[in-house]
Structure 1
């Protein structure tokens, strides 16, 4: 009996330890992904509730800083006021959490701020997307990792999937090791008319894309566990340098 209790205790400790480690769920139908508190990243499939623009410089007067400069002509010390001015457009976003991929948000809905230099964030164009957030630990709010999102699809069995977007820094071995399956992304195409052959091969690997005229079209999909693994080792690798 004592031996059995010891085994159960060890198993319980092992489960707790695993929850704290940087594991990734290998299930195709990800209900809960990996968790690692040392990585300030929250990845999830989200459904748009609202995206509302606001003025990020509305309270900038509170952020005034004072300093002193020397007038070159008179040699006098001048008091100078500087203000922090945000050039990007800013948005308050609210999303329903459909599937947790990495780290656990506290509720079924999440509010965060997003900044975009070019206009409305691209993720707002779709009702459901894969989003990547981090948390301002000092003030306690979530913010969007700028420009980072993935479109999401769902098969007949309810499994979510997407396709990889390469940044050109991946090794061929990394790409070849990704498990892919045939998928229809005919509505997705990327203009490659401005790229030479070398860059086309770099950004649109033939394993995942086909080239039709001046466009690259994704033809292979990956499940969410593959996607978050890829993102952690490429896009977000500097959030934690200990990923092997």
Structure 2
């Protein structure tokens, strides 16, 4: 029994040691659910002062969108100049990470909060093109989110409610704005891939694995 226990530990350590990103672009993009997230003191040495907050994150990999990672849970470091990263407040996110010298890092500020659809896929509510002006946007798709994504508008007048939650992306009724349009994760990856990730030297090459519907 003791020998079996030791063997299981060694197998576990071996799996952990061999876990790594496989991607021709260097990017592993995945839909994840937060398991752990906390701040730590980053020691860069040589008298260098890091101006970013440093965090360690652990996420369950729910769906691989681009690249491969041979474990169900991924741990990585996050650096953010503005404090706690915005994506940490969402339950499910599309994240972009890279590996350097055996350590995995979040691509700074890059994420989308995503939500389950009735078809079992993941998608973003609304138009995600605010910081990707150079990307040629595709029309938003009609999407049924499950559970529904809705916001109270009872504190707004009708004109302002429709400015904040524009039609037809949102349907207005009974003091609520319900999301009816959005973007699936394959298109979300394309948006990042064609601008910010490309500018950072992470162009996807022919043959790279990317989710397609």
TM-score, normalisation: structure 2: 0.65
Shift of 1:168: 5.3
- The Cα shift of 1:234 comes to 2.3
Partner of 1:229: 190
Give the aligned partner of residue 27 of structure 2.
41
Match of 1:105 among 51, 55, 69: 69
Change (3 A) 1:234 1:180: farther
In 1, the alpha carbon distance for the partners of 2:36 and 2:89 equals: 11
**Tell me, which stretches of 5 or more residues in structure 1 are unaligned?**
1-34, 65-82, 190-203, 211-216
How many residues in Structure 1 have an aligned counterpart in Structure 2? Answer: 167
Distance 1:169 1:144, change over 3 A: closer
2:109 maps to 1:147: yes
Judge conservation of contact 1:178–1:226 (CA < 8 Å) in 2.
Answer: no
- How many angstroms apart in 2 are the aligned matches of 1:39 and 1:188? 41
Question: Helix, strand or coil for the counterpart of 1:145?
Answer: strand
CA positional deviation for 1:124 = 1.0
- Work out the CA distance in 2 between the residues paired with 1:100 and 1:111: 15
Distance 1:129 1:169, change over 3 A: closer
| Deviation string, structure 1 residues 193-213 (Cα, Å, up to 9, x no partner) | xxxxxxxxxxx9988689xxx
Give the equivalent residue in structure 2 for 1:156: 118
Taking a change above 3 Å as real, the CA distance of residues 178 and 42 of structure 1, as seen in their structure-2 partners, is farther
- Find 1:52's aligned residue among 35, 38, 54: 38
> Which residue of structure 2 aligns with residue 170 of structure 1?
133
Say if 2:132 and 2:191, in contact at 8 Å, map to a contact too. Answer: no
CA pair 169-102 structure 1, distance change in 2 beyond 3 A: closer
2:84 is matched with: 120
Match of 1:132 among 74, 96, 104: 96
Change in Cα spacing, 1:227 to 1:188, as seen in structure 2 (3 Å) is farther
Q: Which runs of 4+ in 1 moved over 6 A?
A: 204-207
Task: Tell me the CA shift for residue 125 of structure 1.
Answer: 0.6
TM-score w.r.t. length of structure 1: 0.57
In structure 2, the CA distance between the partners of 1:113 and 1:169, relative to structure 1 (3 Å rule), is closer
